[in-house]
Amino acid sequence: MPGIEFLLAALTPLNIVLALGGVIAGTVIGSLPGLTATMAVAVLVPITFSMEPTSALIMMGAIYTGAIYGGAYSAILLNTPGTPSAIATTFDGFPLARKGQGDLAISIACIASVTGGLVGATFLLLLAPPLAEIALAFGPVEYFWLAIFGLTLISALSEGNLLKGLIGACFGLLLACVGIAEISADVRFIFGSQVLLGGIETVTALIGLYCIPVLIDLVATPDRHLKVDHKPRGFRFLEALALSWKAKFSLIRSSVIGTLVGILPGAGGSIAGLVAYTEARRTSKNSHNFGKGEPEGVMATESANNATVGGGFIPTLVLGIPGTPPDAVILGALLIQGIRTGPSLFTEKASIVFTFIYGLYLATFLMLPVGLVIGRYAYQTIITVPKAMLVPTVAFMTMIGTYAIRNSISDVIIMIILGVVGWILNRFGFSPSPIVLGLILGRIAEQGFVQAWTIGSATGELWKMFFGRPISLAIIAFILLSLFYPLLRSRFGRAKTEVAHGE
């Protein structure tokens, strides 16, 4: 392993304390809807000024890692992704919790997150400079096709309900247009209102569309929030470990997907989680159980989104281009510390880089005990707190969280309106995920399309721009596969059942 001598440098008592503190703080912040990893890191930047650069980096990396994992709690227990990265965790996490398996789901998420984190950090350690080239190979047109690919996953996710999934996605695409357009600076769909000028923040939509309907249902129905028919029974760690071991290939594959998507500065954890989820579902023996509380589904997203941490650091450290929004904050903090990122960082400032990477390993390992303990506490709290307390507390947290996104009351209003709309749509069988995907991917697709079109027409190679680049062609192939997959599977699936019946 390169720079093994720096492993010891990372393991000073101070660094261990900082990493532990960082993971705890990150997990707690990440579990609160609205408080994102970016914010968690940004708030702590001033504290790091007085630290040694390596200690500061280790702490920020630990907070980031913890926050991405923490997002799983609210996804599993409240059906609300704490961060956009945890969207796909709700698909199976919440059904598991509904069945009274919330504790198991949290332990599985913890093991998966640690695995993903370790895989991501290993790629960062061993292959950062060559992998950073991937970030550069992705131009506007590749992002456009990637976003289209993400949108086609809706068809895979909403099997049997394709039309409603597509309508939801279109609604999301419309929401993505609201406000001042990022690229063209056009003002769209604000209906003369200043409130909508800044557009609809993804996290605002997440909280509104996922959490508010859950709260309304809690109030409207006499049932308990989560089914509990047992005494507390520990972490269920061994059980979770056994399940993870059975799905070890899927776990590693999801982690690799997460790392690769994390390297792309324009993509992010939400896409990583989705791609990993659909891929896991496609290949799993239990694919029929996905969406109904399948542990493998939770594993796929949680390993993928924690792998984006290591993946995102690859372009950040090698190219000085932040791979994810929290990376941008960390990059800024590095600049202020007087550290220049770039290819030579790995040779000239090797001590800082490798101590940091080993620090990331340290934080990831610490996440196992921390995650299990905090997770158990969160689960116990959610199942024991009476509904009369739970609903107002969570409602309060959603408001604070939404407000904190950009210190704006307008976002809270947008969140509540979206929440009511989401609840009504839920009644008619529309799920929130296609809407949120439309919102996230619509922006990426639009930017990529406009940029690719501009460059293509300037160089007179418009056709070649969209259909003549190898990576684009590969993504287009995936798009076709994912579009026709449900069709193919139902045909082959039927063939298989017939065979089964024939036996």
Partner 1 sequence: MNVYFRVITVFFLTAILSMAGSTLMADDYPSKGVNYVIPFGPGGESDITARHQQPFFKKLFGQDLIISYKPGGGGAVGWSQLNKMKGDGYNIMGINLPHIIVKPQEKAVGFTTEDIAGVYMFHYTPDAIVVTNDSEFETLDDLIAYAKENPGKITFSGSGKGTANHLAQLRFDKMAGIKTTYVAFKGTGAAVTALLGKQVVAEWGYTSVGAKQAEKARMLAVAMDERHPEFPDIPTFKELGFDLVSGAFRGIAVPTSTPEDIRMKLSDMIGQINADPEFRKRMEADGMALLDVDYKGYQAFIDEQAKVMLEAAREANVIK
Answer yes or no whether residue 137 interacts with partner 1 by CB under 8 A: yes
Q: What is the H or E stretch that residue 119 is in?
A: helix 102-137
Q: Interface with partner 1 by CB under 8 A: which range of 65-73, 366-374, 418-426, 451-459?
A: 451-459
**Category of 269 on φ-ψ map: left (φ > 0), alpha (ψ -120 to 50) or beta:** alpha
Q: Interface with partner 1 by CB under 8 A: which range of 7-15, 61-69, 322-330, 428-436?
A: 322-330
Answer yes or no whether residue 197 interacts with partner 1 by CB under 8 A: yes
DSSP character string of 120-178: HHHHHHHHHHHHHHHHHH--HHHHHHHHHHHHHHHHHHTTT-HHHHHHHHHHHHHHHHS
Answer yes or no whether residue 436 interacts with partner 1 by CB under 8 A: no
Answer yes or no whether residue 328 interacts with partner 1 by CB under 8 A: yes
For partner 1, the binding residue among 182, 224, 396, 496 (CB under 8 A) is 182
Answer yes or no whether residue 335 interacts with partner 1 by CB under 8 A: yes
Sign of the CA dihedral running 343, 183, 68, 23: positive
Answer yes or no whether residue 439 interacts with partner 1 by CB under 8 A: no
Answer yes or no whether residue 266 interacts with partner 1 by CB under 8 A: yes
Answer yes or no whether residue 289 interacts with partner 1 by CB under 8 A: no
Please choose, from the candidates 244, 245, 246, 307, the residue with its C-alpha nearest in 3D space to the C-alpha of residue 276.
307
What does the longest C-alpha to C-alpha distance in the chain come to?
73
Answer yes or no whether residue 42 interacts with partner 1 by CB under 8 A: yes
Sign of the CA dihedral running 127, 86, 226, 375: positive
For partner 1, the binding residue among 2, 46, 232, 392 (CB under 8 A) is 46
For partner 1, the binding residue among 139, 170, 282, 365 (CB under 8 A) is 139
CB 109 within 8 A of CB 240: no
Answer yes or no whether residue 223 interacts with partner 1 by CB under 8 A: no
What spatial distance separates the first Cα and last Cα of the chain, rounded to whole Å? 53
Distance CA 132, CA 461 (A): 27
For partner 1, the binding residue among 173, 304, 331, 363 (CB under 8 A) is 331
Distance CA 373, CA 376 (A): 5
Answer yes or no whether residue 129 interacts with partner 1 by CB under 8 A: no
- How many Å separate Cα 261 from the centre of its chain? 11
As measured in angstroms, the least distance from the Cβ of 407 to partner 1 is 5
As measured in angstroms, the least distance from the Cβ of 321 to partner 1 is 5
Residue closer to partner 1 (CB basis): 97 or 207: 207
Q: Tell me the CB-side half-sphere exposure of residue 187, using CA atoms within 13 A.
A: 9
For partner 1, the binding residue among 224, 248, 288, 406 (CB under 8 A) is 406
Query: Contact positions toward partner 1, by CB under 8 A?
Result: 38-39, 41-42, 45-46, 49, 135-140, 179-180, 182-185, 187, 192, 194, 197-199, 201, 265-266, 315, 319-322, 325, 327-333, 335-336, 338, 340-344, 406-408, 447, 450-451, 454-455, 458-460
